Amino acid sequence: MQASSVEIRKVNKFYGPFHALKDIDLSIPPGKVTCLIGPSGSGKSTLLRCMNFLEEYDSGEVRIDGQLIGYDAPGKRMSGRKLREMRRSIGMVFQQFNLWPHMTAHENVAEGLIRVRGLSKADAMTRAADALAKVGLADKMGNHPSRLSGGQQQRVAIARAIAMEPKLMLFDEPTSALDPELVGEVLNVMKTLASEGMTMVVVTHEMGFAAHVADQVAFLEKGELVDVDTPSGILHHPKDARIQSFLRTYHERNSF
Amino acid sequence: MFSIPVFFESFGPLLWAARYTLLISFLGIGLGLILGALICAARLSPYAILRRFAAVWVSFLRGVPLLVQLLVFYYALPVIGLDVPAFVAAIVTVGICASAYISEIWRGAINALPRGQSEAAIAIGMSPRDVWSRVVLPQAVSLSLPALINELILLVKASSLVSVVGILEITRSSQAQAATTFRPLEVYLAAACIYLMINLCLAALGRYLEHRTTV
Ligand SMILES: Nc1ncnc2c1ncn2[C@@H]1O[C@H](COP(=O)(O)OP(=O)(O)OP(=O)(O)O)[C@@H](O)[C@H]1O
Ligand SMILES: [Mg+2]
């Protein structure tokens, strides 16, 4: 599998006067799993969404395999066609799944193959079936999203992304909307993807996943990237007081 | 005394007159759907001038009673040299009036869709056109169906107003019969039954469509 790298340099993002991302520098190595953690409102989603330009950053650079995304040159917006071309190879999985409710699971996955990759309907349906089999849903292909559990819906959403054969996968809290007993099935699919060498950027509150699967963990707070390190460096030997306090709160909330 | 034979006999002419009621409501809503789509598109467009025009269109048409619109339209057309039959004037007026409400129904349905629906499509690289035709519109249409059927039912009832420009639809026909038979209660009751039957059928159609499109 080809895997992309992402280089983020001096990225700033404003919502009106609010400074949501402050001079972010981060390197996402190819074929590795990077987890973004941090308190609510710290800018994790915003940063992740800058990587496929769902969110426009105001200054700095986000490069996918060296190519600037969203801009041809600093300040000069890229054409829609070129941006779509780049997005083709970037998969995204959302907290709320965002499956299209008027299509079956099978159609949800095939849609992008037909409209974006230009496959014939028959080829798209075959490829979509393969992707669904890969996430363990071969027997649920004909179901509409409303007839699937949350965990199954999220696995369809992952299948929809991987069917496009992306070189980079972005996950925004993929298990946060799930009942606890359904979290495992989604994390397992993600682990398989990671073991196949997919570049993955995962915003998560699952510290266990970050500890066991991530190659690096980045901690954000109030729009600043506080630290990037190995999982154990961030989670077991945090240097910054802000990370220590975040982890303390996390452990208190998750102990009983 | 209530005369049952008169009640039943008045159905014949009233059902015949119902063709105008149905034609005006159905053609009116057809025109309303087309104009409503254009107005809604203008309302959501990036051009301020179009948005302004659409907003004025909607507030003007919603602010003037249909009866007054009918009369204005009917008497204004000859002034500007257009000699159209009353029937055509009625359909056009009903359609224009409905377009104001229908554009708002569609705007509401489109705005009710979660942002994530189109974001998921954009994220895999779909063109804006595909995002609209494959993701937004199919859902907006099924979301708006109950309100559109409701609008059609309102139009069937409001079509009684076109009697003022001389069209012999159900209401005007019943007035005429009441005058000749001297049996207003029987005749109007029959007219009420016909309106009710039409609208019950439409409501059933609405339930069927809603059931078929929601999953
Ligand atoms: N569209 C917007 N308009 C204005 N402010 C926004 C917008 N989107 C996000 N923000 C603000 O930017 C900040 C970062 O938001 P973001 O969604 O990236 O946080 P997050 O780290 O993902 O939080 P969470 O863990 O709750 O998802 C927040 O303070 C939020 O209120
Ligand atoms: Mg978030």
Q: Are residues A31 and A79 in the same domain?
A: yes
H runs (alpha helix) in B113-183: 115-123, 128-130, 137-158, 170-181
Nearest CA in chain A to B125: A84
Beta bridge partners of A27: A7
- DSSP string across chain A: -----EEEEEEEEEETTEEEEEEEEEEE-TT-EEEEE-STTSSHHHHHHHTTTSS--SEEEEEETTEESSEEETTEEPPHHHHHHHHTTEEEE-TT----TTS-HHHHHHHHHHHTS---HHHHHHHHHHHHHHTT-GGGTT--GGGS-HHHHHHHHHHHHHTT--SEEEEESTTTTS-HHHHHHHHHHHHHHHHTT-EEEEE-S-HHHHHHH-SEEEEEETTEEEEEE-HHHHHTS--SHHHHHHHHHHHHHH--
Which member of B117, B126, B127 has the closest CB to residue A98? Answer: B117
Amino acid at B146: P
Number of domains making up chain A: 2
Cβ(A213) to ligand 1 under 6 A?
A: no
Determine the distance separating the centroid of ligand 2 and the alpha carbon of A169, expressed in angstroms: 16
Name the residue type at position A72: D
Count of A–B CB contacts within 8 Å?
Answer: 68
Domain spans in chain B, listed from the N-terminal domain onward: 4-213
On whether both A77 and A18 belong to a single domain, the answer is yes
Could you tell me if A92 and A170 are in contact, meaning their C-beta atoms sit under 8 angstroms apart?
Answer: yes
Q: What is the pLDDT, as a whole number, of residue A124? A: 97
**Whether the predicted pLDDT of B147 surpasses 60:** yes
* Beta carbons of B134 and A94 less than 8 Å apart: no
On whether any CB of chain B is under 8 Å from the CB of A48, the answer is: no
- Rounded to the nearest integer, the mean pLDDT of chain B is 91
What ipTM, to 2 d.p.? 0.93
Identify which of A241, A247, A243, A209 has the alpha carbon closest to the alpha carbon of residue A229: A243
For A183-194, how does the pLDDT look when each residue is reduced to its tens digit (9 = 90+)?
999 999 999 999
How many residues would you count in chain B? 215
Task: Tell me how far the alpha carbon of residue A175 lies from the centroid of ligand 2, in angstroms.
Answer: 12
Question: Measured between alpha carbons, how far is B14 from B9 in angstroms, rounded to an integer?
Answer: 9
Q: How far apart are CA B106 and CA B49, in angstroms?
A: 20
Q: How confident is the model over B130-147, as a mean pLDDT?
A: 93
What is the pLDDT, as a whole number, of residue B214? Answer: 60
Distance CA B163, CA B64 (A): 18
Band (A75; pLDDT cuts 50, 70, 90): confident
Token pair recorded at residue A20: 């949501």
Q: Whose CA is nearest to atom 25 of ligand 1?
A: A40
The answer, yes or no, to whether any atom of ligand 1 lies below 6 A from the CB of A151, is: no
> Which domain, by its residues, includes A59?
1-89+170-255
- Is residue A1 domain-shared with residue A128, that is, in the same domain? no
Percent of chain B scoring above 70 in pLDDT = 99
Distance from CA of B208 to the nearest CA of A (A): 17
Token look-up 């299948």 returns A159
Residues A7 and A78 in one domain: yes
Q: Which domain-ending residue is among A137, A165, A193?
A: A165
* Distance in Å, CA A189 to ligand 2 centroid: 21
**From atom 9 of ligand 1, which residue's Cα is the shortest distance away?**
A46
Domain edge (last residue) among A111, A136, A165: A165
Q: Is A43 in the pocket of ligand 1 (CB under 6 A)?
A: yes
Nearest CB to B117 within list A92, A100, A111: A100
Neighbouring CB atoms inside 10 A of A162's CB total 21
Whether the pLDDT of residue B2 is over 90: the answer is: no
Q: Which residues of B139-163 are buried (b: 16+ CB within 10 A; e: fewer)?
A: bbebbbbbbbbebbbbbbebbbbbb
Instruction: Answer with the one of A165, A180, A200 that is the final residue of a domain.
Output: A165
A176 at interface of B, judged by CB pairs closer than 8 A: no
Tokens (6 digits) for B17 = 């007159």
Instruction: Identify which has the larger pLDDT, B82 or B9.
Output: B9
Residues A134 and A85 in one domain: no
Mean pLDDT over each residue of chain A, to the nearest integer: 95
Report which of residues A74 and A8 the model is more confident about.
A8
Q: Are residues A85 and A6 in the same domain?
A: yes
**Are B130 and A94 an interchain contact pair (Cβ–Cβ within 8 Å)?**
no
Q: Are residues A106 and A125 in the same domain?
A: yes
% residues pLDDT > 90 (chain B)? 67
Please compute the mean of the pLDDT values over residues B15-22 and round it to a whole number.
92
Closest residue in chain B to residue A109, using alpha carbons only: B124
Chain B residue with minimum CA distance to A85? B125
Which residues in chain A are contacts of B122 at CB distance < 8 A?
Answer: 54, 87
To test the pocket of ligand 1, the residue of A12, A46, A96 to mutate (highest count of ligand atoms within 8 Å of its CB) is A46
Asked whether residue A11 falls in the same domain as residue A133, the answer is no
Token readout for A9 is 């340099």
pLDDT at A1: 62
Closest residue to A164, CB basis, from B114, B117, B124: B124
- pLDDT at residue number A136: 94
Same-domain status, A159 and A177: no
3-state secondary structure B82-96: CCCCHHHHHHHHHHH
pLDDT at B192: 94
Once rounded to an integer, what is the mean pLDDT over residues A166-174? 97
Instruction: Give the model confidence (pLDDT) of B45-91 as tens digits.
Output: 999 999 999 999 999 999 999 999 988 888 888 888 888 888 888 99
Average pLDDT over residues A47-65: 96
**Token code pair at residue B48:** 């301020």
Supply the pTM of this predicted model. Answer: 0.88
> Which pLDDT band holds residue B213 (cuts at 50, 70, 90)?
low
**Distance separating alpha carbons of residues A211 and B126, to the nearest angstrom:** 35
- Residue-wise pLDDT for B154-177, tens only, equals 999 989 888 888 888 999 999 999
Residue A21 forms part of a structural domain: yes
pLDDT at A94 over 80: yes
- Report the CATH number that the domain containing residue A238 is assigned in CATH: 3.40.50.300
**CA atoms within a 13 Å half-sphere pointing along the CA-CB vector of B52:** 3
Does domain B4-213 correspond to CATH entry 3.40.50.2300?
no
Task: Assess whether A174 and A83 both reside in one domain.
Answer: yes
Chain B interface includes A115 (CB < 8 A): yes
Residues A73 and A1 in one domain: yes
Residues A238, A111 within the same domain: no
pLDDT score recorded for residue B73: 85
Q: What is the pLDDT of residues A123-149, one digit of tens each?
A: 999 999 999 999 999 999 999 999 999
